[in-house]
Structure 1
Amino acid sequence: MQVWFSGLTGLLKSIRRVDEEHEQQVDMQVLVYGTRTSKDKSGAYLFLPDGEAKPYVPKEPPVLRVTEGPFFSEVVAYYEHIHQAVRLYNLPGVEGLSLDISSLVDIRDYVNKELALHIHTDIDSQGIFFTDLNGFQVQPRRYLKKLPLQANFYPMPVMAYIQDAQKRLTLHTAQALGVSSLKDGQLEVILDRRLMQDDNRGLGQGLKDNKRTCNRFRLLLERRTVGSEVQDSHSTSYPSLLSHLTSMYLNAPALALPVARMQLPGPGLRSFHPLASSLPCDFHLLNLRTLQAEEDTLPSAETALILHRKGFDCGLEAKNLGFNCTTSQGKVALGSLFHGLDVVFLQPTSLTLLYPLASPSNSTDVYLEPMEIATFRLRLG
């Protein structure tokens, strides 16, 4: 992937994937919303802008820092109220197929202003954009000119995207924000808000406790395979498998915890492989935890397993993932999943683990439909 930036602003201008001849316009800009001068103003619950957003005008030109190395290349633009970093990883796999974007925002000296990140492309989105609902499903949204500007903003818990017959541009987020597409080919995300008055919705104060806030994103550009059709008329939409994996990298990273320096008894583990094989790429292990015994506070011999099978759009290209990414048509063999352990008891239960759904099964193979979550009680031996 190749990325171009503005030499004046230090912000993103265009992207070109390795397998494409032409670059894709992805023009990034910082905007500022004001609030109305009337009695009713924006507050913690109300967004009442004084019109369309205006370009952010810094007091001084930004300081630009360009870093290039064997593992990643990065461009950072230091503005007074925002530090914008765009990083491209030179790594195989999911990590190198999207742009890592972080925005460190500090608007503590603003009065009734809201900072927004604006992305302009030449994608013919025809007034439709897509947002997720709590990270589980994606729903199309249509820009309605008859509604006020603020009524066209929607929550973005995990992702939002725009698309046409050839391309899809997805903005993954690590924090829930407000998003809209006010014109074709555009995405607009509210980064932070500072509002001095209460909006009479119960909070009793404005939004004046701002801190320096880091917003993290992943920008993923995908191309549709030849012959696949865009289903904008449907009530739901699906991310691609690559998009799901990108969201997992952003929202469920591996946590490296420090270890005490004291000498541990015995040799330390050089590696730990709890699973004998990887789960299918469309499965997410939501939770695997020991259950508490009913008689006392000691752990029981049973374990809770919660699995989520994701639904995905297979009409988007997924090249050079860097690893063997396979699906199994919804089937998972739990008996051979855990390294050195056998499943000796398997009980499907309700999502809350309170009610058994069926008698314990002799088979350790489970099947999930797309978009379903299943919970099991199991005993390993």
Structure 2
Amino acid sequence: MILLTKSRETVARLQDRNVIGGTLTSNVLRYVLENIWMTVKDCWKIQEAMISWFTTNKTRKNPYVRKYVYRDGEFISVFRTISPGDNVLVFNSLSHERYEIIELFTKIPNIRIIDHNKKDVTVQVNPIWKYNPKNVVVISKQFYKIMFAVLIPPLTIELFKIKETSMTTLNTATIYCVHCMIEEDMSGGIYSPFTIQPIELGDVQLESYKHRLIFDEHTGFLKTVIEKDTLTEKPVVIDYKAFTGSYVNAGVFLLNTNTTKPIRDILKPYRTTKLFIILTGPLTTEFTSVYGQLLHHTVKLFNVLNSPLSSAIYIESKIDLDVSPSNRDLELFMSIQTDISNGNPPEIHIDNNGFQYTPRTINVTRRIESNVYPVTTLSYIQDRKQRLTVITDHAQGVTALQEGQIVLMLDRRVLFDDGRGVNEGLADSGGSCQRHYILLENFSRTSKYYPVPNSKSVQLPSFRANYLSNAFNYDTDIFIIDKNVTGYCLYAIVPLIKATYPCDVFLLSYRTFLDGITSKRSSSNVGLMILHRQSFTCQINYESLVHCDVDPNISIQSILPGSRTVFKTNLAGTNKGTRLKYINLEMFQPMELLTLRIFS
């Protein structure tokens, strides 16, 4: 309780517009980063303690699991590899079931993974590679990436056991690369479980159950998407460029482009020395274009059935602007050009903090800095037939330069002071990793809910877009159990709820209610639940890929069995509120929040 109170107090103190926007001096930013890092580690300790408490004997006080937080290219938690004998606990914190690809590191590629039903799950072994300054991709012999698919029920902890297998080649990915080499060990050997094959000349094609992607042989970027269901070929052209910053009124706060040369081809020095690498396996197929250390662009398809992931195109951009003053006065962006007729001037739909969606018309008569809008979770463009949705894992700027286009601001380096109080430029030399999902969806002309869509009637994302956005915002929680303490885990699966929430209702928060300023006045039998009705458009068909309740009405006893009384209260839970027995669509409307005070 002490760590929880401390973490909440720290988060409350950091709710400053300069902290949230990142417009701080370098010294203050280090202080903020230290506070955030300490708070994150405290939250990890709380999670470790609670996961241990749920899965072992209640008399045991010390946690036996360790939180594992990993992003490709960035280790956030302590480095940890898995080996045969270890166990992995996966916690789905969402209120709906979740299909996810879990990624872990290992030193032993011959691994199989079994679930709580003692059945083998699909596993893929990918190489760990690094770009060498000699313009060569070096594949590690010491570490491997283990990927496996999981389907976790809502608010459920599930156990997976790591076992050894002799059939390594069945799960290893095939590598297609021209300038790749296996790193040598101390003995000079170069044995590797992977097979490296050359990339044939011409455009590159990747396939999944839903899509066929075509990449330009000269740039290595996506240019065409073919939908296998309809055999429709759609132009989707991706490119990276940069706005050139002005010498005045451009800095940490302000975006001001150079009117003489507003756009620069930042990849021009690397276009003749770029490298391509393709990894294909039973779970994913990915294509990576390497433009030196500046940009590693990856497009990934998921080879899974009956999951919203199968309809998504995953894009990852690793950007390293090198040490300042290299690549100075640049605003790096990624553009996605389609044939969608979203108007001239073009119209973009953006979200406002993920709670509602607003159309923005680009004013082509004004400069680009007047047309950049903030997007928190997703943005989309559409016409009467189709829609392109771009889902992001963090807030960033979005705009368009012409019809059918979305431009996403990725990274920036501006060394000038804009005179807004910071008294320094923006010269961060650290790399960044940008993750996006792309959805290409067609409007249904046979919908019984609405007529043929138009730009004025459709203001909601699709069901798949909401699903993928929640997956980005709330990562799967992974906990590793060392093989020496696996006996402490007594349960293979622990569901925290027994109910099924409606498809468009999202559990935003569920916590113990502190009835007062200090934790001494808290009531252990009082909880505070915040629900968000994330409505989705009915004009885009979706398969029942996620098990959820299609009835928009909610029975209190179905989602909160055993509760004594439930009151509808204000957001903070300070009002007594009105007593509820059921929730209908009239009292809990689309895009609204509902706070429940629960007495058990």
CA deviation vs aligned residue, 1:181-210 (integer Å, no higher than 9, x gap): 120001111110001111011221110123
Q: How far 1:263 moved relative to its partner?
A: 3.7
Partner of residue 187, structure 1 = 406
Q: Distance in 2 between matches of 1:35 and 1:365?
A: 52
Partner of residue 269, structure 2 = 58
Q: Distance in 2 between matches of 1:16 and 1:216?
A: 22
Q: How far 1:298 moved relative to its partner?
A: 5.9
* Count of residue pairs brought into register by the alignment: 371
Question: More deviation in 108-117 or 184-193?
Answer: 108-117
User: Does the 8 A contact of 2:213 with 2:222 survive in 1?
Assistant: yes
Q: How far 1:261 moved relative to its partner?
A: 6.0
Question: More deviation in 210-219 or 49-58?
Answer: 49-58
Partner of residue 494, structure 2 = 272
| Aligned-partner residue type, residue 287 of structure 1 | S
Partner of residue 289, structure 1 = 511
Partner of residue 45, structure 1 = 253
- Within the candidate set 436, 445, 455, 1:232 is matched to 455
- Within the candidate set 422, 427, 446, 1:208 is matched to 427
User: Does the 8 A contact of 2:382 with 2:455 survive in 1?
Assistant: no
Partner of residue 69, structure 1 = 281
Question: More deviation in 78-87 or 40-49?
Answer: 40-49
- Within the candidate set 564, 568, 587, 1:344 is matched to 564
Q: Distance in 2 between matches of 1:137 and 1:266?
A: 45
User: Does the 8 A contact of 1:62 with 1:79 survive in 2?
Assistant: yes
Q: How far 1:370 moved relative to its partner?
A: 1.0
Question: More deviation in 274-283 or 70-79?
Answer: 274-283
User: Does the 8 A contact of 1:293 with 1:300 survive in 2?
Assistant: no
Structure 1 runs (4+) deviating above 6 angstroms are: none
User: Does the 8 A contact of 1:41 with 1:199 survive in 2?
Assistant: yes
TM, length-normalised to structure 1: 0.91
Change (3 A) 1:365 1:122: closer
User: Does the 8 A contact of 1:113 with 1:194 survive in 2?
Assistant: yes
Q: Specify which structure has the higher proportion of helix.
A: 2
Q: Distance in 1 between matches of 2:336 and 2:381?
A: 11
- Within the candidate set 351, 356, 371, 2:576 is matched to 356
Q: CA RMSD in A?
A: 2.1
Q: How far 1:232 moved relative to its partner?
A: 2.2
User: Does the 8 A contact of 1:343 with 1:364 survive in 2?
Assistant: no
User: Are 2:340 and 1:123 equivalent residues in the alignment?
Assistant: yes
User: Are 2:529 and 1:305 equivalent residues in the alignment?
Assistant: yes
Q: How far 1:266 moved relative to its partner?
A: 5.7
Change (3 A) 1:86 1:299: farther
Q: How far 1:365 moved relative to its partner?
A: 4.8
| Aligned-partner residue type, residue 354 of structure 1 | T
Q: How far 1:120 moved relative to its partner?
A: 0.7
- Within the candidate set 557, 569, 574, 1:335 is matched to 557
CA deviation vs aligned residue, 1:296-348 (integer Å, no higher than 9, x gap): 166511111110102221111213x533454222x12231225xx41212111
Map 1:144-223 to 2 at 5 A. 144-223=363-442
Map 1:363-374 to 2 at 5 A. 363=581, 365=583, 368-374=588-594
Q: Which runs of 5+ in 2 are unaligned?
A: 1-210
TM, length-normalised to structure 2: 0.59
| Aligned-partner residue type, residue 327 of structure 1 | V
CA deviation vs aligned residue, 1:264-289 (integer Å, no higher than 9, x gap): 78652100112223211101000111
Partner of residue 244, structure 1 = 466
| Aligned-partner residue type, residue 100 of structure 1 | Y
Q: How far 1:229 moved relative to its partner?
A: 3.0
Q: Distance in 1 between matches of 2:583 and 2:405?
A: 45
User: Does the 8 A contact of 2:242 with 2:333 survive in 1?
Assistant: yes
Partner of residue 219, structure 2 = 9
Question: More deviation in 260-269 or 187-196?
Answer: 260-269
User: Does the 8 A contact of 1:281 with 1:326 survive in 2?
Assistant: yes
User: Are 2:301 and 1:88 equivalent residues in the alignment?
Assistant: yes
- Within the candidate set 349, 356, 361, 1:142 is matched to 361
- Within the candidate set 527, 539, 549, 1:315 is matched to 539
Higher-Rg structure is: 2
User: Does the 8 A contact of 1:231 with 1:237 survive in 2?
Assistant: no
Q: How far 1:223 moved relative to its partner?
A: 0.2
Q: Distance in 1 between matches of 2:334 and 2:421?
A: 29
User: Does the 8 A contact of 1:29 with 1:55 survive in 2?
Assistant: no
| Aligned-partner residue type, residue 491 of structure 2 | L
Q: How far 1:248 moved relative to its partner?
A: 1.1
User: Does the 8 A contact of 1:152 with 1:182 survive in 2?
Assistant: no
| Aligned-partner residue type, residue 23 of structure 1 | E
User: Does the 8 A contact of 1:67 with 1:73 survive in 2?
Assistant: yes
Paired residue secondary structure (2:479): coil
Q: Distance in 2 between matches of 1:297 and 1:96?
A: 49
Change (3 A) 1:365 1:136: closer
Q: Distance in 2 between matches of 1:78 and 1:16?
A: 24
User: Does the 8 A contact of 1:335 with 1:365 survive in 2?
Assistant: no
Q: Which runs of 5+ in 1 are unaligned?
A: none
| Aligned-partner residue type, residue 460 of structure 2 | Y
Q: How far 1:50 moved relative to its partner?
A: 1.5
Identity level (%)? 26
